[in-house]
Amino acid sequence: MIEYYMTENRNIVQIDGPQKGCWINVVDPNRKEKLTLIREIGILEEFVKSSLDRSENAHIDYDDDVNQTLFIVDCPHLVRSENATYNTYPLGIVICDEYIVSISLSENTEINEIINGKIRGLNTNKPVQFFLHFMLKISQKYLIYLQQIDHYSTELSSRLRETMKNEELLSMLALEKSLIYFSTSLKSDEVVLKKLLRCRQFKLDEDENDLLDDVLIEIDQANEMSHIYKDVLNGTMDTFSNIIANNLNFSMKDLTIITISMEVPNMVFGFYGMNVKSLPIAVSWFPFLFSIALALIVFVIVKKMR
DSSP bridge pairs for 3: 25
60 and 114 housed in the same domain: yes
Share of the chain above pLDDT 70, in %: 73
- What pLDDT digit, counting tens, does each position of 188-216 carry? 888 888 888 777 677 777 887 888 888 88
- What pLDDT digit, counting tens, does each position of 104-162 carry? 887 777 777 777 666 666 777 888 888 888 888 888 888 888 888 888 888 877 777 77
- What pLDDT digit, counting tens, does each position of 16-57 carry? 888 888 888 888 888 888 888 888 888 888 888 888 888 888
190 and 235 housed in the same domain: yes
188 and 239 housed in the same domain: yes
CATH number for the domain including 8? 3.30.460.20
286 and 170 housed in the same domain: no
Domain that holds residue 200: 2-245
238 and 260 housed in the same domain: no
189 and 236 housed in the same domain: yes
pTM: 0.75
Q: Whole-angstrom distance between the N-terminal and C-terminal Cα of the chain?
A: 70
298 and 221 housed in the same domain: no
pLDDT at 258 over 60: yes
- State how far the Cα of 210 lies from the Cα of 128, in Å rounded to an integer: 13
81 and 206 housed in the same domain: yes
Mark which of 245, 269, 295 sits at the end of a domain: 245
Q: Is 73 exposed, middle or buried (0-12, 13-18, 19+ CB in 10 A)?
A: buried
172 and 280 housed in the same domain: no
- State how far the Cα of 201 lies from the Cα of 68, in Å rounded to an integer: 10
Whether residue 192 contacts residue 60, with contact meaning beta carbons closer than 8 Å, is answered with yes
DSSP 132-196: HHHHHHHHHHHHHHHHHHHHHHHHHHHHHHH---HHHHHHHHHHHHHHHHHHHHHHHHHHHHHHH
DSSP 264-303: HHHHHHHHHHS--SS-TT-SSHHHHHHHHHHHHHHHHHHH
> How many domains is the chain built from?
2
34 and 75 housed in the same domain: yes
